[in-house]
Amino acid sequence: MTGKEESSGVVRRDRFSGGPAREFMSSLAADERIFAADVAVDRAHVVMLEEQGIVESDVAADVLAALDDVESAGHGALPDGEDVHEAIETAVIERVGPDGGKMHTARSRNDEVAACIRYRLREDLLSAVESTLALRESLSETAERHVETVMPGYTHLQPAQPTTVAHFLLSYEAAFARDTARLLDAYDRTNVSPLGAAAFAGTPFDVDRDRTAELLGFDGVLGNSMDASSARDFLAESLAALSTHAVTLSGLAEDLVIFANKGYVELSDDYSSTSSIMPQKVNPDTLELVRATAGDAISGLNGLLTTLKGLPRAYNRDLQRATPHAWRAVDDVSAATEVAAGAVATAEWPEETLSAAAAEGFSTATGVADALAMAGLPFRTAHEVVAEAAGRIDGGTPDLATLDAVAEDVLGDTLFEYVSREHVERALDPTYSVASRDSAGGPAPEAVAAQLDDAAAQLDAHEEGLGERTAALESADDRLAAEVNARV
Ligand code: ARG
């Protein structure tokens, strides 16, 4: 041992960490994110050690008091160290003396860091969930106001069939609901305790792993200690959920950018910006940045998975560089979600422009073919008649005379042998087209009303899920604080 003797008689662990690679190896700055988590993990561990008779009560009390002090001083006041775990331990020893070193009995930084990341990430995941709920709420509220606002629907970015603003917005609400569910799933697999695994091979001390889990609000413990200290699949799952959500967000942002360009949606000035040179410009920059967030999240997921790929058991220092990908993704994606929610909530959908656009490009062609098929013509034949009519008019919507002339040519009979004039006229009307598409999940107002109900029910369920998880963490915080207060 070549560690230097301090005046306190404390042996400092600077055997390997003082060399030229010191800064390269240190995670102390990045660990600010898990400073509070580490203090909590230390507290729970010390309370458990004392309860198990592994550490004397007076030592536990001194360590817990020192941790209070270290916490109030903050991350910035920590002594130098390879990481936050080492620095906090040093700070405790500085206050308590060598007995402060008993805090690290029956554990390793390997189970400690894994516990800290899980402890911190779960709170970030819950914030991400909360932001998805707010976005879904603003989509549903806007949809409610636009159940009858007819707009063009697209495939291949070509006008395809009329739909409504509500139907369009709820298509994203449904996707975001699945994103929320994935984040909650990721939370549940994150919220499990690795503590007690020590370096990977457990410990000869009689630790109570369930107790530390309970004190920290974890739902259970990871059974295999080698798995517990090695596992980072919870990071991969969380980043995958965040990236998937960011991809959904990017689709919404892209649609809104396109619609803003066509004048189909008017973004609030708060979510637009102007050009530094072109005074007339109102640009959808915020949505472009939301759209770009997916790239960052996906690159984070890629970086993480590439770091994890092929790592042997158990702990390897590579894992230190895996963690920051998660912080960046969860912060960026949550911020993008909040911005998207605000942009949606404040946007206007100009009804007249939308309804005029909905009629463009013979968008009701499918409806006319459906009308002929409903009258008994094979759909393929009906499709041919309408396609021929569309070809003859070269853009725009064919009138009844054109449709009839085509029917004479293709079917050898007048169109009105098959279907009434009124029915064809109605089929050419975008509002009727929307109203007629009342199959489950369709854009007809009754079908959309059912989707709004489903969206509200699922939002309630997810809100409840968020509330339960948040409350469980809060009561664990209270329990831990009570145990600490009973000792200091
Ligand atoms: N700072 C490390 C990390 O973030 C944790 C410490 C474990 N270090 C070690 N050499 N075993 O992963």
Does the C-beta of 330 come closer than 6 Å to ligand 1?
no
Task: Report the SS3 class of residue 10.
Answer: coil
Ligand 1 site, residue 317, Cβ cutoff 6 A: yes
The mean pLDDT value of the chain amounts to 94
> Which atom number of ligand 1 is nearest to the Cα of residue 199?
11
110 lines ligand 1 (CB under 6 A): yes
- Residue 380 pLDDT > 90: yes
Indicate if the pLDDT at residue 394 is higher than 90.
no
Q: How far is the CA of 76 from the centre of ligand 1 (A)?
A: 20
> Quick check: CB of 337 below 6 Å from ligand 1?
no
CA of 305 to the centre of ligand 1 (A): 18
83 Cβ closer than 6 Å to some ligand 1 atom = yes
Q: What distance lies between CA 473 and its chain's CA centroid?
A: 20
pLDDT level of residue 283 (50, 70, 90 thresholds): confident
pLDDT band at 2 (very low <50, low <70, confident <90, very high): very low
What does the pLDDT read at residue 10? 52
71 CB less than 6 Å from ligand 1? no
Mean pLDDT of all residues in 180-191 = 98
Residue 458 pLDDT exceeds 70: yes
DSSP tally for the chain: helices H, then strands E = 18, 2
Mean pLDDT across 200-222: 98
**In which band, very low, low, confident or very high, does the pLDDT at 277 lie, cut at 50, 70 and 90?**
confident
Q: Whose CA is nearest to atom 1 of ligand 1?
A: 83
Q: Whose CA is nearest to atom 6 of ligand 1?
A: 109
88 within ligand 1 shell (Cβ under 6 A) = no
Residue 76, pLDDT > 70, answer yes
| Ligand 1 atom, smallest distance to 84 CA | 1
Mean pLDDT along residues 420-433: 92
Pocket test for ligand 1, best of 15, 16, 107, 110 (most atoms within 8 A of CB): 110
* pLDDT tens figures, 300-311: 999 999 999 999
Per cent of the chain over pLDDT 70 is: 96
The segment with the largest mean pLDDT, out of 5-14, 195-204, 272-281, 403-412, is 195-204
Do 166 and 144 touch, CB atoms closer than 8 A? yes
Task: Identify the band that residue 282 occupies on the pLDDT scale cut at 50, 70 and 90.
Answer: confident
- Output the six-digit token pair for 349: 């959908």
Give the pLDDT confidence score for residue 296 in this predicted structure: 98
- Of all atoms in ligand 1, which is nearest to the CA of residue 319? 12
| Closest approach atom of ligand 1 to CA 315 | 11
Q: How far is CA 66 from CA 38, 90, 357, in A?
A: 14, 11, 68
Measured in Å, residue 201 CA sits from the centre of ligand 1 at 16
Ligand 1 centroid to Cα of residue 143, in Å, is 49
Query: What dihedral angle (degrees, nearest 10) is formed by the CA atoms of 174, 179, 183, 186?
Result: 110
- CA 125 / ligand 1 centre spacing (Å): 23
Which of the given ranges, 5-14, 215-224, 400-409, has the highest pLDDT on average? 215-224
- Dump pLDDT digits (tens) for 444-456: 999 999 999 999 9
Q: What is the C-alpha separation between 449 and 400, in angstroms, rounded?
A: 33
What's the average model confidence in pLDDT over 395-402?
Answer: 89
The two domains 21-105 and 110-357+454-482 share their CATH topology (first three levels equal): no
> From the alpha carbon of 86, which atom of ligand 1 is closest?
6
pLDDT band for 9, please (50, 70, 90 cuts). Answer: very low
pLDDT, position 48: 98
CA 114 to ligand 1 center in whole angstroms: 9
* Architecture of the CATH domain 21-105: Orthogonal Bundle (1.10)
* Contact call for residues 418 and 409 (beta carbons, < 8 A): no
Q: Catalytic amino acids?
A: 156, 275
* 316 Cα–ligand 1 center, Å: 8
pLDDT confidence tier of residue 334, bands split at 50, 70 and 90:
very high
**Cβ of residue 319 lying under 6 Å from some atom of ligand 1:** yes
At 222-258, the pLDDT tens digits run: 999 999 999 999 999 999 999 999 999 999 999 999 9
pLDDT tier at 14 (50, 70, 90 boundaries)? low
Ligand 1 site-directed mutation target among 28, 35, 104, 109, most atoms within 8 Å of CB:
109
**230 CB near ligand 1 (under 6 Å):** no
Report the range of poorest mean pLDDT among 238-252, 337-351, 371-385. 371-385
Give 109 Cα–ligand 1 centroid separation in angstroms.
Answer: 6
CA-based torsion, 328, 334, 337, 342: positive or negative: negative
Whole-model pTM? 0.94
Instruction: For the chain, give every domain's residue range.
Output: 21-105, 110-357+454-482, 365-428
Q: Whose CA is nearest to atom 4 of ligand 1?
A: 320
Instruction: Convert the pLDDT of each residue in 111-154 to its tens digit.
Output: 999 999 999 999 999 999 999 999 999 999 999 999 999 999 99
**Rounded to the nearest whole angstrom, what is the distance from the C-alpha of residue 85 to the centroid of ligand 1?**
9
Residue 315 CB less than 6 A away from ligand 1: yes
Look up the CATH architecture of domain 110-357+454-482: Up-down Bundle (1.20)
Ligand 1 contact via 320 beta carbon (within 6 Å): yes
Reduced to 3 states, what is the DSSP secondary structure of residue 193?
Answer: strand
| C-beta of residue 185 within 8 angstroms of C-beta of residue 238 | no
Q: What percent of the chain has pLDDT over 90?
A: 88
Residues 437 and 361: their CA atoms lie apart, in Å, by 19
Residue 353: closest CA among 186, 151, 164 = 151
Residue 109 Cβ inside 6 Å of ligand 1? The answer reads yes
| Residue 417 DSSP label | G
pLDDT at 4 over 80: no
